[in-house]
Structure 1
């Protein structure tokens, strides 16, 4: 299967967006780890919040997939998934910074 230039560009951009998401997620992991290292009630609340966010995001994305809201082709579905996680990760980075 040959990619057109447009399809190639879309996947290339998606790959870059996913890479940026990974870098930002690493930052959030470091911020959460430093918060946990301080101990106290805040680290327990942060751990519960993290688990709740992950479960909620997974359920929302599964529901979107099953109802067709992620789109009809793999690239659009991937773009929507990356966009959703990017918003969540950026919000966490701002909150924890």
Structure 2
């Protein structure tokens, strides 16, 4: 499962939020299920911008379960790659056979 999280730095009430993206919708939803984030909170579903905004505690859980920590700039690189406008980012692991 390849899921990515950027640094938690967006205030929302008393929480700090971050973005969680993945290489596929299935991977993104599977991680959301594992960390207890309701699927209805998905944002920009079906687009290259598809993501969840998650709280810092959920981010820590996602990392514990294998999410890759990346910068906000890296998420931009991921979006460009998924849209066909850029090269595959170095942090994206090779596909497993």
Normalised by the size of structure 1, how large is the TM-score? 0.27
* Larger proportion of strand: 2
Q: Larger C-alpha radius of gyration, 1 or 2?
A: 1
* Larger proportion of helix: 1
